[in-house]
Amino acid sequence: MEAPPYLVLVLSVSNKLFYPVKFLIFSKKNSAVWSIGFLLTLASCTFNNDVNVDWQPRIVAPLVNGELGVFQQPDIQDISDVFTISASDVFGTQRGTVPSLPALGAFNYVLNPTKISNNDIIDEIGVSNVRITINLRNNMPVTMASGAVVALTNSGETTPFVQQTIDRTVAPGESIAVNIEQSTAVIKNTFIASLSNLNTLASTSSVTITDNSQIELRLQFDPPTVDYIQFVAGTTNTFETTVDFDSGLDQNTDEVSGNLVVGLENQVPIDFLMAINLLDASDNIISTIFNPTLNLTANQNATETLNSQTIINSLKNAKKLQIVATFSPTVQNRRIDNTAKLKYNLVADLKLKIKGN
């Protein structure tokens, strides 16, 4: 459903009828803030000391346009982890100062698993424009030889989806950053990092080995371009967003009545339960638009016209709009592409009673 491109009002002043006036409304988020606010400002102006304004316009104006999609999954925007190769992993039980140390290695370490989503709702994601930064710090008292290999492998698979050789030495106390770029990747919810072919160089001078003689590895993904998310069938998941909201109604408005028209367009092959809430500045719910939630079926559109005076009255105090879409994917329908969106559109169809001198 598209929001009306304009509003029409009739102004009655001292029993004289003026021609209808059109104000262009751009179909963008919060566009009605300008239009309704402008009208209220106009109404509060003094035409002259002898004229009373009794203005009862009908206003049809868009309030909010937006969409939900894969970008509403915050877990996939921050994929990171920290790993430690301990002193015991490299030096065993040896501690203290020794006059020299031979070359050690090669060591191969499988590190702790990393999860994209801690609540296990995601099966896998397809991403492109992959950029990963590996920060490695050598806290060992000996130099780390070149040729160590960092790999990331999906759980249950044997072939890494990312693999990078560190082709330089790393001195004691030195930190380096290794940047990896890859065009595409498929990442399971759980993947495993490994550090293999780790060797140290021999030292002919004395070295001191402590419990802190370790290697620290930090893994950080730049927010990738998400091509799709495949969810675990039978789980319950949520797309949610909160946007700033201002109807533009103020104290100049004596009475407000009419309808709130909600348009929903589901481009996703999954059923959603929709909840839309009006919030105050502190994120407290002051009104619930759908009570109970609205069932929006897969690949379907819906238009709901609400004439609840409670909801209309709440528009004046609302500062934010919360959209919550809950869904339970099935085996057949559990993948959401980045091109498929759940679009929402709120339009105010209001009659205002405004008085001024």
CA 115, CA 241: separation in Å to the nearest integer?
A: 23
Report the b/e string of 120-132 with b at 16+ CB within 10 A.
ebbbbbbbeebeb
What is the pLDDT averaged over residues 282-287?
96
> How far, in Å, CA of 165 to CA of 177, rounded?
12
Q: Which residues contact 102 (CB under 8 A, 6 or more apart)?
A: 202
C-alpha angle 67/72/77, rounded to 5°? 140
Nearest C-alpha neighbor of 229 from the set 75, 338, 323: 338
Higher pLDDT, 17 or 85: 85
Averaged pLDDT, 216-243: 93
CA dist., res. 138 & res. 213, Å (int): 8
The residue that leads in pLDDT, 228 or 10, is 228
Query: What letter does residue 75 receive in the DSSP assignment?
Result: G
Q: Average pLDDT for residues 155-174, to the nearest whole number?
A: 97
Which pLDDT band, with edges at 50, 70 and 90, does 21 fall under?
very low
Please give the pLDDT value at position 230.
Answer: 94
Quick one: pLDDT at residue 91? 97
pLDDT, tens digit, for every residue of 325-348?
999 999 888 999 999 999 999 999
Q: Dihedral of the CA atoms 167, 169, 175, 178 (nearest 10)?
A: 0
Q: Which amino acid is at 66?
A: G
Give the pLDDT score at 184. 96
179-228: per-residue pLDDT in tens?
999 999 999 999 999 999 999 999 999 999 999 999 999 999 998 899 99
The SS3 of residue 173 is: coil
pTM, entire model: 0.74
pLDDT, tens digit (0-9, with 9 covering 90-100), for 72-127: 776 677 899 999 999 999 999 999 999 999 999 999 999 999 999 887 899 999 99
Q: Which residue has the higher pLDDT, 113 or 10?
A: 113
Rounded to the nearest integer, the mean pLDDT of the chain is 85
